[in-house]
Amino acid sequence: MSDVARRNVVGSGIIEPAYGVLHKTFHWVVFGLIAAQYVVGSVMPHIGKNTENVTWVHWHLIIGAAILFFVFWRLVWKLMRPVPMLSELPPWQAKLASFTHMGIYVLIFAMCILGWAAANYRGWNIWLFGAVPLPDLAAKNTPWAHTAGDIHDWLLYVLAAVLLFHIGAALYHYFFLRDRVLQRMLPH
C-alpha cells in the first residue's frame, strides 16, 4: 500500500491521510542523528586553533553530513508525497505547525552548510558516512567560513529551542488534546 493510500480513521469518523513508512523512517532517523549530534557536540572539545579532526570532532562532522543527507531526502519525499495536517486542527495550529516544520528544515540546512564551511576553513574535508568525500565549500582560512562557524555555534541554541517547542507541541497534542497528531508519526 502506498503512502498516499494509507489512511487513519480519527474519532470524528473522518478519514485522514497518514504518514507512510518512509515519512516515519526519515523523521526518526533525522531525530536520532540530531540527538546524537547534540550529545557529540556537548562532549567534543572546543574547536580552537590547534584542534585536530579526530575522535569526537571527526564524529561530529560525519554525523553532520549524514543529517544533511537524510534531511535532504526527507524533504524531497515530503514534497513528492505530501500529507496534509489533520482537518480537526484549528487554522492557527496548522499554520504554526507548518511554520515550525519549515523553520526546522531551514535551521538544519543552515547549520549543516555553515558547519561544513567552518570545517573547510580549518582545512578539514567532509565525508558522507565517512566514505564519500564532499567538495569544499570554502578554501582554508577563508574569513567568511570562520564567521560561518560562529553562526553555526549560535544557531545550535535556536534549533534546540525550536525542536523543544516541536516536541512539546507533539506531547501536548498527545497528553492534553488527545488527538492523533503524534500517533500519525509513531511506528505501528
More confident residue, 33 or 45: 33
What global pTM score does this model have?
0.88
Cα distance between the two ends of the chain: 14
Residue 55 has pLDDT above 90, yes or no: yes
* Residue boundaries of the structural domains of the chain: 7-185
Supply the CATH classification number for the domain 7-185. Answer: 1.20.950
Q: Which amino acid is at 70?
A: F
More confident residue, 14 or 177: 177
Place of cell 500519525: 184
Which amino acid belongs to residue 83?
A: V
CA dihedral sign of residues 106, 107, 113, 117: positive
Instruction: Give pLDDT, residue 15.
Output: 53
pLDDT above 90: percentage of residues in the chain: 75
Q: What is the mean pLDDT of the chain?
A: 90
Using pLDDT thresholds of 50, 70 and 90, give the confidence band for residue 86.
confident
Q: Retrieve residue 103's grid coordinates.
A: 523553520
The pLDDT of residue 49 is: 83
Distance CA 27, CA 65 (A): 16
**β-bridge pairing 15-17 and 7-9:** antiparallel
> Average of pLDDT values for 86-93?
90
pLDDT tens per residue across span 132-186: 999 999 999 999 999 999 999 999 999 999 999 999 999 999 999 988 888 899 8
